[in-house]
């Protein structure tokens, strides 16, 4: 009898050990299988990705710093600053190192980044599957939930599986964060580390997630207080009780340490470049125009359905009601209630962002991550249906549903990204060679306002990989070129200076470019004619001249006979004859939306304040004279600083959101 008992105990121990090993090895094996499948499905895209341009090249500039562990900032924002952290960029850098630099598995550095994205997506999908396993406890049910989630994801935004575009890379971390919030609201401690990791990746990727995740966390804590004291008080621990905090102290400290690690780069950037990026975030937020509640609700609802707002709301309410009624009284009621809470909080987070943080609600991609909410809701609904199906034949029906779902997902995921045209521009090396022949490096580029930046940043990334400082950007600099690409005073004094414009815009025969290739025209500045005395240059009849040689940062596209300054600062670059020109006159008019509006304008010449002008309703237009100092260089930079720019949208005059200051109608010299 004793021997039989010992044998039974050994068998139980072996089974427990085997189950424990499978609980660890199973997700690891699943992770590698998913990564391999995604890599195989996208193998043709990866094989042909060689010379990236546009946003992908801008990220590659930062990734080169990450490869040497020198990167402490995130990807660039179209607003003009970097996002809080480099977590995703380090993942891509690791892919470039591992799959190209070290092993040559990938055919190019950018292809190595795309392979890294396959592993990145597989990691988050594995975590999503782990959360669904905790809800269902059955591998078959987990397969159904995960298949439903992936199918809805594929038909909503198939590109999130393999695209290198950052808005797509936020999707899966947000899904994991939402599922972790659901567990947290129900007092579950098994979600804390995934909660911290997903939160860290989101905040590093986009500054808006600071507010969104904070709001969701605060809401989950409040929901936990309500649930632990009312609906599910017996099974939902209270996070604000000392007993719960003490019991989970290690998990809490581990999660806190993980989150702090993600915030460390932001702290370093703030200390080294004080006040750093935080000041930029605050300035943008304080100057942001708020969107109306109805418009924000319509923006949020568009991710569920494209119909009228009322129908979208009704559909969401019916789905939520189905989940609640189906799960009530069941053992999984707590988990479904947590999911409903998390979905409400995710919706509130996006609504807050749409109302307070988005400058233009037509940019649908800004909330692309929220497509994960309908996918999670569909998975929860699938489980509620699964739980109520009669056991007889359930396994067969589930396997059929999973097979169909995976087949449909495959058909969508294998489609190429809409941005695949920016994955390879084979003429980039040729452009690099031709630019190196223009003169001493780095070249000094004055970039005009035509849309030539994707190719230009592509050749910059190519040059940086080769260890060559090909050019710096003076006029027309943008954050996507990175801070290091700004021209120094030394480069401006000694460098070969060129104006860069799109070839399609060069419809003049008056000046010939030094280089015209791949849609870019390079005009040597020294060959341009100088503005002479008694010469009038109205915008209307000199559009090419202004667009390509005069207007720098802070200007709109040229309208019929004028061009608007945008924001507080706008730049002009002028070439004059310093021996004869003693004064230039700017023909300006101010945007004065109200009868009592007053606009102050300060003018700086080569960064030295030289004049100040006031515009009122009685005198909205004037010629503004600027004296040229003696011994001035022939190239002068003029900066207009507007005291109070405002938008027609904010003034309820039109839907134009641009922050307008003054309109430039022309220039003449004396």
Q: In the chain, what are the domains?
A: 1-129 (no CATH), 428-527 (no CATH), 536-669 (2.60.120.260)
Question: pLDDT-derived band of residue 536, with 50, 70 and 90 as boundaries?
Answer: confident
For residues 570 and 555, the answer to whether their CB atoms sit within 8 Å is: yes
Burial of 298 (0-12, 13-18, 19+ CB in 10 A): middle
Residue 322's SS3 state is helix
Report whether pLDDT(352) > 60. Answer: yes
For residues 1 and 8, the answer to whether their CB atoms sit within 8 Å is: no
Sign of CA dihedral 498, 499, 501, 507: negative
Average pLDDT score over residue span 111-132: 97
For residues 85 and 134, the answer to whether their CB atoms sit within 8 Å is: no
First to last CA, the chain: 114
Integer Cα distance of 124 and 151 in angstroms: 15
* pLDDT tens digits for range 88-100: 999 999 999 999 9
Integer Cα distance of 638 and 474 in angstroms: 13
Integer Cα distance of 49 and 421 in angstroms: 9
Angle formed at CA 332 by CA 14 and CA 313, multiple of 5 degrees: 140
Average pLDDT score over residue span 268-290: 84
Question: pLDDT-derived band of residue 475, with 50, 70 and 90 as boundaries?
Answer: confident
Report whether pLDDT(666) > 50. Answer: yes
pLDDT value for 11:
44
Residues 6 or more apart whose CB falls under 8 angstroms from that of 58 comprise: 75, 76, 457, 461, 480, 481, 482
Region of 408 (left: φ > 0; alpha: ψ -120 to 50; beta: rest) is alpha
CA–CA distances in Å: residue 524 to residues 224, 313, 436, 451: 66, 59, 14, 20
Q: Which two tokens stand for residue 619?
A: 């005198």
* pLDDT tens digits for range 143-158: 999 999 999 999 999 9
* pLDDT tens digits for range 169-189: 999 999 999 999 999 999 999
Integer Cα distance of 385 and 457 in angstroms: 51
Sign of CA dihedral 43, 46, 48, 54: positive
Integer Cα distance of 374 and 11 in angstroms: 44
Report whether pLDDT(3) > 70. Answer: no
Residue with tokens 């497509």: 371
Integer Cα distance of 559 and 566 in angstroms: 14
pLDDT value for 509:
47
Say how many residues make up the chain: 670
């Amino acid at each position: 009898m004793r021997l039989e008992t010992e044998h039974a105990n050994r068998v139980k121990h072996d089974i427990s050990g085997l189950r424990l090993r499978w609980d660890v090895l199973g997700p690891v094996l699943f992770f590698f299988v998913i990564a391999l499948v995604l890599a195989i499905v996208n193998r043709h895209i990866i094989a042909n990705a060689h010379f990236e341009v546009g946003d992908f090249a801008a990220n590659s500039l930062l990734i080169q710093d990450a490869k040497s562990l020198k990167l402490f900032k995130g990807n660039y924002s179209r607003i003009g600053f970097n996002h809080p952290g480099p977590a995703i960029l380090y993942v891509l850098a690791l892919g470039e190192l591992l799959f190209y630099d070290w092993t040559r598995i990938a055919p190019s550095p950018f292809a190595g980044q795309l392979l890294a994205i396959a592993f990145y997506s597989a990691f988050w999908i594995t975590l999503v599957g782990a959360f669904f396993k905790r809800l269902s406890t059955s591998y078959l049910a987990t397969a159904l939930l995960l298949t439903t989630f992936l199918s809805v994801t594929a038909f909503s935004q198939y590109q999130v599986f393999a695209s290198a575009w950052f808005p797509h890379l936020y999707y899966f971390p947000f899904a994991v964060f939402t599922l972790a919030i659901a567990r947290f609201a129900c007092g579950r401690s098994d979600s804390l580390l995934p909660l911290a990791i997903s939160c860290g990746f989101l905040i590093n990727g986009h500054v808006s997630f600071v507010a969104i995740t904070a709001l969701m966390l605060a809401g989950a804590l409040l929901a936990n207080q309500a649930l632990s004291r009312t609906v599910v008080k017996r099974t939902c621990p209270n996070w604000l009780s000392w007993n719960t905090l003490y019991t989970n102290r290690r998990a809490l400290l581990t999660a806190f340490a993980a989150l702090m690690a993600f915030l460390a780069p932001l702290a370093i950037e703030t200390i080294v470049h004080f006040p750093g990026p935080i000041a930029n975030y605050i300035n943008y937020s304080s100057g942001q125009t708020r969107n109306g509640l109805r418009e924000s609700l319509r923006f949020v609802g568009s991710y569920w359905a494209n119909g009228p707002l009322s129908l979208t709301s009704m559909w969401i309410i019916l789905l939520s009601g189905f989940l609640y009624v189906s799960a009530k009284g069941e053992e999984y009621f707590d988990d479904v209630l947590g999911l409903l809470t998390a979905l409400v909080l995710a919706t509130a987070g996006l609504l807050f962002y749409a109302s307070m943080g988005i400058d233009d609600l037509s940019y649908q991609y800004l909330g692309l991550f929220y497509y994960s909410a309908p996918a999670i809701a569909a998975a929860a609904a699938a489980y509620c249906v699964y739980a109520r199906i009669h056991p007889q034949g359930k396994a067969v029906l589930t396997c059929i549903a999973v097979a169909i779902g995976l087949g449909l997902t495959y058909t969508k995921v294998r489609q190429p990204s809409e941005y695949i045209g920016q994955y390879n521009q084979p003429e980039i090396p040729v452009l690099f060679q031709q630019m190196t022949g223009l003169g001493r490096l780095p070249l000094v580029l004055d970039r005009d306002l035509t849309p030539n930046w994707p190719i230009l940043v592509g050749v910059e990334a190519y040059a940086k990989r080769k260890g060559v400082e090909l050019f710096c950007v003076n006029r027309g600099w943008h954050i996507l070129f990175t801070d290091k690409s700004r021209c120094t005073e030394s480069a401006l004094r000694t460098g070969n200076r060129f104006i860069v414009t799109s070839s399609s815009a060069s419809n003049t025969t008056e000046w010939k470019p030094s280089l015209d290739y791949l849609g870019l025209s390079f005009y040597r500045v020294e060959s341009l004619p100088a503005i002479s005395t008694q010469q009038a240059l109205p915008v209307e009849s000199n559009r090419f001249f202004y667009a390509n040689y005069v207007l720098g940062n802070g200007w709109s596209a040229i309208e019929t006979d004028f061009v608007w300054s945008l924001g507080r600062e706008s730049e002009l670059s002028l070439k004059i004859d310093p021996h004869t020109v003693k004064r230039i006159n700017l023909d300006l008019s101010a945007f004065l939306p109200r009868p009592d509006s007053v606009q102050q304008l300060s003018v700086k010449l080569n960064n030295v304040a030289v004049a100040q002008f006031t515009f009122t309703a009685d005198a909205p237009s004037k010629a503004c004279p600027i004296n040229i100092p003696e011994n001035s260089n022939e190239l002068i930079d003029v900066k207009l600083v507007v005291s109070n720019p405002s938008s027609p949208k904010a003034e309820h005059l039109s839907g134009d959101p641009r922050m307008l200051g003054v309109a430039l109608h022309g220039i003449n010299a004396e």
